[in-house]
Copies of this chain bind each other. A is one copy, B any other.
Amino acid sequence: MRSENESSGQKTRSFIEEARRSQIVASTVEVLAEAGFAQASLARIAKHAGVSKGVISYHFAGKDELMEEVVERTYAAVVKHVLARMEGVESATELLRTHVLAAAEHMRDHPAQLKALGEILVNLRTADGGLRYGVRTNEEVYRALESIYRLGQETGEFRTFDTRVMAVTHSAAVDDMFAYWTAHPGHDLDAHARELAGILERACAR
């Protein structure tokens, strides 16, 4: 009964099934953002979504798959937004600034998603006890950032430095900018992002 499409690892899902999955993912994001990972039981998520607990088990192989779906969807949304903003920008300096500002932009508009993402990245573990995500998962981000830094070094905009260290620093600074904003809602996120872009530019400048 499997369709050919499944060969790519994606199951074919009916419209209604897709809607349910989205609804449950949205509920999960909200519960994670409000109450944190430890309090995000399936019972609580189901209650928040207004469905029975069983429906989650029906649509997801287990809690882990649900959490992974949250990560994938949330992560994809950030990447999509940032890449769209970076489209057409050519100088490394501008790409750097655009990356920071675009990320902040998206954070500002989707705080719950990013709080939820943070909860999962820090807490979700595999059966063997190790973190399911973790710094290793940032590899993709590091590579993308490194390509910007290397571009700048090649064009002569940037001095010579260790691009991996700079990428880790950049990524950390953006993540914590958001965490700080979450903890201090009155904080001016956009101003922080502009200031941070300036810091990174100076750190890279010849």
- CA of A54 to CA of B36, assembled, Å: 25
Q: Is the CB of B125 within 8 A of A36?
A: yes
Nearest CB to that of A178 among chain B residues?
A: B135
Provide the residues of chain B in CB contact with A195, threshold 8 Å: 161-162, 165
Q: How large is the interface on A (under 10, 10 to 19, 20 to 34, 35 or more residues)?
A: 35 or more
A182 adjacent to chain B (CB < 8 Å): yes
What's the dominant secondary structure at chain A's contact region?
Answer: helix
Provide the residues of chain B in CB contact with A176, threshold 8 Å: 135, 168-169, 171-172, 175
Of B135, B162, B182, which one neighbours A135 at CB under 8 angstroms? B182
A35 adjacent to chain B (CB < 8 Å): yes
A156 adjacent to chain B (CB < 8 Å): no
Chain A interface residues toward B at CB < 8 A: 34-39, 122-123, 125, 129, 131, 134-136, 161-162, 165-166, 168-169, 171-173, 175-177, 179-180, 182-184, 191-192, 195-196, 198-200, 202-203, 205
